[in-house]
Structure 1
Amino acid sequence: MNPDPLLDSLRAAVAAAPADVPLRLHLAGLLLERGARDEAVAHLGTVLGQDPGNAEAAALMTRALAPAGPPPGFDWAAAESEVADIVPPRFVDGAEAVPADRVPAGPTADVEQPRVTLADVGGMTDVKKRLDAAFLAPMRNPELRKLYGKSLRGGLLLYGPPGNGKTFLAKAVAGELRARFLAVGLDEVLDMWLGKSERNLHELFLAARRAAPCVLFFDELDAIGQKRSRLAGAAARNVVAQLLVELDGIADGNDGVFVLAATNAPWDVDTALRRPGRFDRTLLVLPPDEQARTAILEYHLRDRPVAGIDLPQLARKTDGWSGADLAHLCETASERALLASAESGVARMIGMPDLLGALPEIRPSSAAWFAAARNVVLYSNADGTYDELAAYLKRKKLL
């Protein structure tokens, strides 16, 4: 890159006065004009980390993350003639059409059309009722939505101990809304290169907007959107700032994009992400109730050779167990029957003694989570955010 005295002077000025927002924005704008997008993104992320509502910074960030176009004066006719023998022209008669359900989602996105609904979620009646009242009912009724001025967008945060089906619930929500589903994990967002994580986020939201109506689901939100006060590096704070920009949909609008997220540690999520218009609604997903435990056990035993299994008894003995714990119980019982069959040389069925014998070998995984949650309820619930969790802990005599 050729030296640019003006940019070098501005860089030195910003280094000397890092809190001067107008100066940093001026530098970012010039960097964009010179084609140094990654450096511009880093400066804009710093501004948005300090001031998430800065409209000028948000607009520049959207411009920086937009796909690059051809240079000025690009000769389209010459370019087309050069590749005419290699690449056939698009959208001509006889060309194979792309099916409507195949949405171009980019290299890191995998958009699917879920076939599951809340009817496929065993038990969890209270959770499904709250989910319907808080999120689904306004979305299903366009007439009432229009009457009350409710836009076709929304954000919901699912939280609770690990292994209790938060991802499956999010997919069921997409099925209920007859929307596509785009699940986002850490590997789709975080990148070691400066500015790449912010661009990944932007491209994922673009994919969801193209696929609308679409449920965009962020797993482990506390890792992507951790409290900026705890983050030492500017790069991590920039990711949170970019997520705030995308949630607000400043440039493109998020109509038809339903943003859901799951976390085991909602108290670690940046407070700006919990403001109105973002993840302003929360739903506590607790370990499955007795009816749900029966359904989960039946599901994990359905393809195994079993005999004499008393599912209601097992469900009663596994109060407080997560769905993952119940799956582990069935796997451990299967191993016991397999080893016994190998020793005797005669294959036998998985019976109730195998399952009851496996019970003491498994420690419910939610115990550690509830211990941490108890401290949050006791010392960090002045605003009532975790009242529902407090009620559950009292009911279970854990508080």
Structure 2
Amino acid sequence: MPDDAGLQALREAARLSPDNLPLRQHLAGQLLAKGYLADAEAEFRAALVLSPGNPEIIAGLAEAFVRQSAYGEALAALEPLLAEPGYPPEIGVLAARALAGEGDLARAAYRYFEAISRDPSLADPEFAARLNPPSQPQTPPQPQPSAQPSAQPQTPPYAAPQPVAQTPNGPATAFTATPAASYGQPMVNPRPGSPPEPESNAEVQQAGLTFADVAGMESVKEALRIKLLLPIQQPDLFAAFGKRAGGGVLLYGPPGAGKTHLARAAAGELGAAFINVGLADILDMYIGSSERNLHATFDMARRNRPCVLFFDEVDALAARRSDMRQAHTRQLVNQFLAELDGVDQNANEGVLVLAATNAPWYVDAAFRRPGRLDQPVFVPPPDAAARAAILRILCRDKPLAEMDFDAVAKVTEHFVGADLKGLVDRAVEAKLQQSISAGRPIPLTTADLLAAAKTVRPTAVREWMATARNYVMHANDSGAWDELMPWVKGKW
């Protein structure tokens, strides 16, 4: 309990007038400013009951969480605000601090530099240095020596990039980031005096999964087979109908439903290369660098065809241009569309583009044009049979007693794949403690999973379905989201 007289007076006033939102919000802010973090959290929660969805209150609550090292709770509170286009830059910086606290420095760097590009006054050089420690001297590559001496001094092959962010004291040199293309990657300079071509940050991988490792979702797997896989597996048949190998699919659905897992399995089904593209692989604070990184990534996929090129959180790279206030962010969307089209009709043959998003309604409509990401595929939450199948796959490499996965599936309604993995992990942790005490492995039982299910809550499916319902019922004039109609009218 704070012993500050001013705070005591504010608290008493709030007690006498519990529905006074400005008073309670002011009290929460004062508690936060003076370091009474647990009390501030309680007051922000009370204020949020009076004004659900208030961005200022959510930001204050998230800051209280961050300062208490409750980073997961902070990100959960900020998630609805981050899903909205044009969210306040302060929210982005707060999310960056929470992500950094969880060790996700790549996403933290994206959130931080995107935020300060819109509001340079939020720059924090110490935090930026933590996100982007220097790995090598920041010097431009020198041109290759010429066989013939030149009478004129050679100039650097390219001009140093100018940072977008500025501080009140001048250019933000203290926190300038290395262009994304140079993070641990060589800069290719094909000929002296020409601009260097960046190598992609993304890595070519082998998936190691097939559709046999994906439980349920048969309609989704069938859509991927027909759209992407069969043209490569049976090229002669598809060529007879003028159908070439390649194309794109947009996977959308609630968080944790298995979109990334599906993309890896599609690559494994083909034995194709797999490139998982994150936001940090593309986005860069220098104007023009993001477009070059995107081009380099598509070029890498073309060199490794057949290849599955997977873009997670694609709404951050393909947002609606009508919502953008800056020309250079619209240019990235234009570049993405140009890469999907290719310089000629065969440029992307053998390159299968899969993109995933939790917010398909924020993706620019131009991406749904035929030949691009023209087939949105809904990845639904698993039904009871699929949940049982997922549990079998998750438990197949563990010591087991006789299991009744169907019984566990019945009590895990609204759980997605990520929730079920968390359930199994929690049950295994409890069983490991028993095994250590006994000095031998004790098999996992149905009772262990049922006990763990009582301690795990489903994550974001209900919230996602509530958002989807708003779009399906009130912003679906084009019929783009008719596929969701049976789901949003269900018992969510």
Q: TM-score, normalised by structure 2?
A: 0.57
Map Cα deviations across residues 215-234 of structure 1 (whole Å, 9 max, x no partner). 11111101111112222333
Give the counterpart letter for 2:284 in structure 1.
D
Q: Sort the Cα spacing of 1:39 and 1:332 in 2 relative to 1 into closer, same or farther, 3 A.
A: closer
Map Cα deviations across residues 43-87 of structure 1 (whole Å, 9 max, x no partner). xxxxxxxxxxxxxxxxxxxxxxx96542479xxxxxxxxxxxxxx
1:363 is matched with 457
Give the counterpart letter for 2:384 in structure 1.
E
Map Cα deviations across residues 69-121 of structure 1 (whole Å, 9 max, x no partner). 42479xxxxxxxxxxxxxxxxxxxxxxxxxxxxxxx94512112334322332
Give the counterpart letter for 2:256 in structure 1.
G
1:122 is matched with 215
Aligned residue runs from structure 1 range 266-305, under 5 A: 266-305=360-399
CA distance in 1, matches of 2:285, 2:193: 32
1:223 is matched with 316
CA RMSD of aligned residues (A): 3.1
- Identical counterparts, % of pairs: 47
2:426 is matched with 332
**Any idea what SS the aligned residue of 2:287 has?**
coil
Aligned partner (choices 158, 170, 191) of residue 70 of structure 1: 191
CA distance in 2, matches of 1:333, 1:284: 30
2:256 matches 1:163: yes
By how many angstroms is 1:349 displaced? 4.9
Give the counterpart letter for 2:328 in structure 1.
A
| 8 A Cα contact 1:106 1:203, kept in partner | yes
Whose relative contact order is higher, 1 or 2, with alpha carbons under 8 Å and at least 6 apart? Answer: 1
CA distance in 1, matches of 2:439, 2:334: 62
Q: Sort the Cα spacing of 1:384 and 1:139 in 2 relative to 1 into closer, same or farther, 3 A.
A: farther
**Any idea what SS the aligned residue of 2:216 has?**
coil
| 8 A Cα contact 2:202 2:275, kept in partner | yes
2:201 matches 1:108: yes
Q: Sort the Cα spacing of 1:306 and 1:140 in 2 relative to 1 into closer, same or farther, 3 A.
A: closer
Where do 5+ consecutive residues of structure 2 fail to align? 1-155, 165-186
CA distance in 2, matches of 1:385, 1:259: 20
2:336 is matched with 243
| 8 A Cα contact 1:38 1:194, kept in partner | no
2:427 matches 1:354: no
2:243 is matched with 150
CA distance in 2, matches of 1:146, 1:352: 51
2:265 is matched with 172
By how many angstroms is 1:259 displaced? 1.0
2:455 matches 1:392: no
Map Cα deviations across residues 262-321 of structure 1 (whole Å, 9 max, x no partner). 111100111122212110111111122333322321233344454353211112222331
Q: Sort the Cα spacing of 1:348 and 1:117 in 2 relative to 1 into closer, same or farther, 3 A.
A: closer
Map Cα deviations across residues 117-162 of structure 1 (whole Å, 9 max, x no partner). 2233222222222333344334432223222222222111111111
CA distance in 1, matches of 2:448, 2:486: 35
Q: Sort the Cα spacing of 1:354 and 1:137 in 2 relative to 1 into closer, same or farther, 3 A.
A: same
Number of equivalent positions:
309
**Any idea what SS the aligned residue of 1:267 has?**
helix
Q: TM-score, normalised by structure 1?
A: 0.69
1:206 is matched with 299
Q: Sort the Cα spacing of 1:382 and 1:372 in 2 relative to 1 into closer, same or farther, 3 A.
A: same
Larger deviation, residues 362-371 vs 144-153: 144-153
Where do 5+ consecutive residues of structure 1 fail to align? 1-33, 43-65, 74-104
